[in-house]
A = this chain, B = another copy of it.
Amino acid sequence: MPAYSTNMRLKFPILALTLEIITIILFAVFVVYDDGKHGGHGAHNNATHHEETTEQNPLTLYPMFQDVHVMIFIGFGFLMTFLKRYGFSSVGLNLLLAAFALQWGLLVQGLWHLDEGKIKVSIFKMINADFSTATVLISFGAVLGKTSPVQLLIMTLLEITIFGINEHLVAEVLKANDVGASMIIHAFGAYFGLAVARMLYRPALGNGHENDGSVYHSDLFAMIGTVFLWMFWPSFNSAIAEPGADQLMAVTNTYFSLAACVLSAYAVSSLVEHKGKLDMVHIQNATLAGGVAVGTCADMNIGPFGAMIIGFVAGIVSTLGFKFLTPILASNLCIQDTCGVHNLHGMPGILGGIAGIVAVALGKKDGTVPFSFSLLRPSSFRSAVMQAAALASSLGFALVGGAMTGLIMKLPFWGQPPDQNCFDDSIYWEVPEEEEGEESLAHGDHSMNKAEA
């Protein structure tokens, strides 16, 4: 790849300020405070009822919102700090992208469901805005280290928009269940990111890159992200569930799925290393696959042991994916998946979608509308078909949308890093000198900056 200018001095500020100003104008036109009177809908098919029941205290969902918030900003942000020289970008660009995505997501989701011509911001809508953000951060993981902030803002804008279309289709048209969003967030975000990564393929990175790896302390920073994601995943999967028994069920299923997933991920990690050692990449990621995979049927009556089986299988699949599938994707399919999102979000997301199809076919999802009469309830078979259609829709929008987005991101004037400067903060950030060995770092800084035009 030729050494394009990576100087962002004009491109990035102009883009960021323009996007924010447009967003503020759209907010001025469309967004008002929630007044507690709802004619509209949330992002999911049970939203209307849900908002009605929490009308009396508009902050009932606030603690769960904050748990999700922590997952988005600390969880995703620190999970990606595992790279030795890319921590500033991981947590810093995570903050930038998420801050824009949550504004844009609120608009995109809200425009589908205007209420008296307005988007009325409730905690419920803020949770959904955070959810839309998650798709972007998952895709960010696939292209981590190989994209400029300008490219990433463009990806955010497009991905959120496409996400909004698919989500509307899945929730409102197909009326599929996906309370924990295995399909519409995890599978969508992963395959969108993989499609982008395919478009941005860099042959020169085929033999690895000296900065594409961790150091001891960067792995510990990443564990901050892992553990916060792990702990608060029950909130993610239950935040928009029907209050009461369904929400408790979603918490319970996710809690046990994650616990079982830890045991299988650790076991398989040790099993596939020739010396029986544990691998931090597996521990940081595969332990979370249980939360992804149980998402779609989190609020279904699958039993705690059913949730555990899902988590147990997800931990195995995810760990094996990191060990065996990621190298194949890179070498055979030209998909360089920096964080292995295919293993954490992609396959477990599909697994979750399939589990949802099976669970719905078995009648594990009792009517989402209270007081529904059994005669009026759609048959389990029809529901299962809708679930399958939702999964297919999510994958289709992700792959096509991601490929189109990747093509736009490939245009040669977005300040993308040259191959030798990938996975390196110093191309977009002021990086301080090192504590020890300053000579060696002076040298390092020199080589790092050589591609700046």
Residues of A216-231 at the interface with B, using a CB-CB cut-off of 8 Å, are 216-217, 219-221, 223-224, 226-228, 230-231
* A 223-255 binary contact with B (CB < 8 Å = 1; else 0): 110111011100100000001110111011001
Task: Please state if A259 and B123 are interface contacts (CB–CB under 8 Å).
Answer: no
| Cβ-defined contact, A73 with B436, below 8 A | no
In the bound complex, do residue B267 and residue A17 qualify as a contact, i.e. CB atoms below 8 Å apart? yes
In the bound assembly, the distance between CA atoms of A17 and B441 in angstroms comes to 45
Which of B17, B256, B260, B430 lies in contact with A273, CB distance below 8 A?
B430
Partner among B20, B266, B270, B309 whose Cβ is within 8 Å of the Cβ of A24: B309
Contact B84 A260 (CB under 8 A): no
**Separation in Å of the A272 CB from the closest CB of chain B?**
9
Q: How far is the CA of A27 from the CA of B257 in the complex (A)?
A: 12
- A324 in contact (CB, < 8 A): no
Interface-lining segment among A54-62, A136-144, A345-353? A54-62
- Chain A residues 125 to 162 lying within 8 A of chain B, measured CB to CB, are 126, 149
Which of B62, B81, B102, B249 touches A33 (beta carbons < 8 Å)?
A: B249
Q: Does A92 contact B (CB under 8 A)?
A: yes
Q: Report if A24-B312 is in contact (Cβ < 8 Å); known contacts: A220-B87, A271-B13, A276-B9.
A: yes
Complex Cα spacing A309 to B28, Å: 10
Q: Is the CB of A275 closer than 8 A to any CB of chain B?
A: yes
**Cross-chain contact A262 with B17 (CB below 8 angstroms):** no
Given contacts A9-B273, A255-B126, contact A432 B213 (CB under 8 A): yes
From residue 7 to 54 of chain A, which have CB atoms closer than 8 A to chain B? Answer: 7-13, 16-17, 19-20, 23-25, 27-28, 31-36
Task: Write the A260-286 contact mask toward B (1 if CB under 8 angstroms, else 0).
Answer: 101110111011011111111001000
Q: Are A73 and B231 in contact (CB under 8 A)?
A: yes
CB distance from A23 to the nearest CB of B (A): 8
Contacts of A227 in B (CB 8 A): 73-74, 77, 91, 95
What are some 19 contacts across the A-B interface (CB < 8 A)?
A: A8-B276, A8-B277, A17-B263, A24-B312, A33-B248, A62-B64, A63-B66, A81-B220, A87-B219, A92-B223, A96-B266, A99-B258, A99-B259, A100-B259, A122-B248, A215-B435, A217-B221, A224-B224, A279-B429
The 10 A-B pairs of least Cβ separation, nearest first, read: A9-B276, A99-B262, A28-B305, A20-B263, A8-B276, A16-B267, A13-B267, A27-B305, A13-B271, A63-B63
